[in-house]
Amino acid sequence: MSVTAALGFVASGVHAHIRKEKRDLAIVRSVPLATGAAMWTQNRVLAAPVVVSKRHLETAEPQAIVINSGIANAATGAQGETDAIATADRAAGLLGLAPEQVLVLSTGVIGAPMPMDRVLAGVDAAAAALSPHGGDEAADAILTTDTHAKTAVSHGGGFTVGGMAKGSGMIHPNLATMLAVVTTDYPLEPGEALEFLRPAVDVSFNSITVDGECSTNDAVILLSSRAAAIQRTPATDEAFVLALRTVCSELSHQIVVDGEGATLVAEINVSGAVNAAEARAIAQRIATSPLVKTALFGHDPNWGRVLMAAGSAPFNGGYAQLDPALVSLSYNGTAVLVGGAPQDVEPNVDGAVCTIDLDLGLGDGRAGYLTSDLSYDYVRINAEYRS
């Protein structure tokens, strides 16, 4: 049930005819008074729903989210904001909420105007269809080039965390086109949600890439219905942190597996860096290198491309530190380079998963990244995106 697995949530997904043949508008709502937070794309070209929703979060606790697929409502000028506001107003009126308590998310084609007659009719239909069993329909309605819905649930001691996400292409931090809604009945206090959400996002949604492209619409929202009847303790907080991280990690992993045209998932692990920030810069550079990604598609352990990328990782106005004489590199557990010396072996990279471990031998900084290969189909899918 994904976003309705936790107590107190209802959801729906309907076909508003924004897209031709599939569900394309969803609502998620907490029935009890909720608290929540969001993290947003860092792209300078912010979509209208992001602008409006950020404004709403400054004045009210979020209680409901309206999400449409098919059109991103980005680069749509003043009319785009007017349309996002009208969407929130319509939902608020139907749900008995203030407009500021409604967040709006959109995903799809950039620069296209919103068909507001269909959007508002879809809001009407989705509000009428809200149900504790509507999580799967909501998860289906937010998809674009995804091949399947992405959901995850984790149960703690007396509480639940559930989530749904969409994302397949235009995936890269900050906030990999990616939307995610995570719900919980864990009793968070107002103002607390962001301090739990941020670290979970940093090791999940902000540590994946498909194509190095940062969307105009990316968002991750956490809502707590506060409906779980448990007594909070430091131990239950730790359990909630783990459950939240589990859901975010599972959703982000599903995004990479379903990357546009992807045939392989690669796990990049960097250790031995001077510090964690430099390790992350190097891991990200490897994960986004077209040469590394095309070699992965060909199941070719061309490890020289990994070294090339690692040695040219932008950091602090220059490149992250690396000494070629200290570097060790493995593919799927087989060492191809040890202390800068080639090992004259050919690792097996025929499977659907490839693990690349790079040890810089300089310090204790470490970081991980998930990425996919770059295939012929990725080019085809994006060449035909508006067809």
pLDDT in tens, 140-149: 999 987 888 9
Mean pLDDT of 339-349: 94
171 vs 241: which has the higher pLDDT: 241
- Please list, residue by residue across 134-166, b when 16 or more beta carbons sit within 10 angstroms of its beta carbon and e when fewer do: bbbbbbbbbbbbbeebbbbbbebeebbbbbbbb
Q: Return the pLDDT at 377.
A: 82
Mean pLDDT of 289-301: 92
Whole-angstrom distance, CA of residue 369 vs CA of residue 309:
14
Q: Return the pLDDT at 171.
A: 53
Residues catalogued as catalytic? 177
Q: Tens digits of per-residue pLDDT, 88-120?
A: 999 999 999 999 999 999 998 899 999 999 999
Please name the CATH architecture into which domain 265-383 falls. Answer: Roll (3.10)
38 vs 144: which has the higher pLDDT: 38
Residues 176, 139 contacting (CB under 8 angstroms)? no
Domain boundaries, the chain: 2-254, 265-383
Q: Return the pLDDT at 64.
A: 98
Alpha helices by DSSP H, the chain: 48-57, 77-95, 116-128, 135-141, 193-202, 234-257, 276-288, 290-297, 304-310, 376-383
Whole-angstrom distance, CA of residue 330 vs CA of residue 355:
8
Q: Tens digits of per-residue pLDDT, 176-202?
A: 457 999 999 999 999 999 999 999 998
Q: Return the pLDDT at 387.
A: 55
Strands 208-209 and 365-372, how do they pair?
Answer: parallel
Q: Tens digits of per-residue pLDDT, 212-252?
A: 656 778 899 999 999 999 999 999 999 999 999 999 999 98
Q: Please say whether the structural domain 2-254 has been given the CATH code 1.10.645.10.
A: no
Instruction: Decide if pLDDT at 175 tops 60.
Output: no
Whole-angstrom distance, CA of residue 319 vs CA of residue 198:
27
Strands 35-40 and 64-71, how do they pair?
Answer: unpaired
Mean pLDDT of 272-278: 97
Average pLDDT for the chain: 92
